[in-house]
């Protein structure tokens, strides 16, 4: 596989050509500080501070007996014992909020190549359906698929000269509840002829 071929598979490269027959999508270039937030390990799992006070963490059933698992620590004079405050990406959050509203209020996220499909289980719905910047951040930050795209996108290239592309993009794709995994397929064409087809969902057989 060539580096050029991998680059052609990025959504910001192919979507403009197939816009009329693809899922409605809004694409944003991501700032480097947000990329670093996704790849860095802060020790504690921190979601960005939301200017809209939105919470991306799934709601859990509250049980009084669970309170015994939590302890309030008294602050010591050594501030190094406490984690840094969560990062904030206000400008990005506001742009994504506007795009989410333009796409009907619900979207699923995708970076240059991959969606965070391996972290659907962590969301409150068990899907990639997102309604806020916080929910998007939760899925992206938790995803091994996304981290691979950020750190090792060209590892399989025979002519690898770069470790990563100069820019990363976040594609917000309109959420359609009517889409069914068992009715989605990969289709392969050669010289405008259909030469192969396979189911897109790889975790089950239909």
Residues 149, 114: contact at Cβ < 8 Å?
yes
pLDDT in tens, 10-49: 999 999 999 999 999 999 999 999 999 999 876 667 888 8
pLDDT in tens, 178-198: 888 888 898 999 998 999 999
- Residue 100 has, within 13 A of its CA and on its CB side, a CA count of 20
Mean pLDDT of the residues in the chain: 85
Alpha-carbon distances, residue 103 vs 7, 30, 51, 108 (angstroms)? 26, 19, 21, 10
Which of 38-42, 83-87, 114-118 is the most confident on average?
114-118
Q: Which pLDDT does position 22 carry in this prediction?
A: 92
Q: Could you tell me the sign of the dihedral formed by the alpha carbons of 144, 149, 155, 156, in that order?
A: positive
Q: Which of 3, 17, 36, 41 is nearest to 168 (CA)?
A: 36
The tokens describing 160, both together, are: 């690898």
Task: Tell me whether strands 169-174 and 25-29 are parallel, antiparallel or unpaired.
Answer: antiparallel
The answer to whether residues 117 and 123 touch, using CB atoms and an 8 Å cutoff, is no
Predicted confidence band at 68 (pLDDT cuts at 50, 70, 90)?
A: low
Query: Count of H helices and E strands in the chain?
Result: 6, 5
């Amino acid at each position: 596989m060539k580096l050029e071929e991998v680059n052609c598979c990025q959504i910001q490269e192919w979507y403009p050509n197939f816009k009329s027959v693809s899922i409605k999508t809004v694409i944003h270039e991501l700032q480097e500080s947000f990329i670093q937030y996704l790849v860095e390990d802060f020790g504690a799992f921190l979601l960005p501070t939301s200017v809209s006070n939105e919470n991306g963490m799934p709601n859990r059933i509250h049980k009084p007996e669970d309170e015994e698992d939590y302890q309030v620590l008294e602050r010591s004079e050594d501030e190094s014992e406490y984690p840094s405050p969560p990062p904030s990406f206000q400008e990005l959050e506001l742009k994504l909020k506007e795009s989410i509203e333009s796409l009907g209020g619900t979207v699923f996220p995708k970076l240059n190549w991959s969606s965070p499909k391996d972290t659907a289980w962590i969301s409150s719905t068990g899907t990639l359906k997102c309604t806020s910047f916080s929910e998007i951040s939760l899925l992206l930050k938790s995803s091994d698929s996304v981290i691979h795209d950020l750190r090792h996108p060209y590892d399989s290239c025979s002519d690898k000269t770069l470790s990563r592309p100069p820019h990363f993009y976040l594609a917000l794709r309109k959420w359609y509840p009517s889409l069914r995994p068992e009715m989605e397929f990969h289709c392969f064409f050669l010289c405008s002829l259909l030469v192969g087809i396979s189911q897109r969902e790889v975790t089950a057989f239909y």
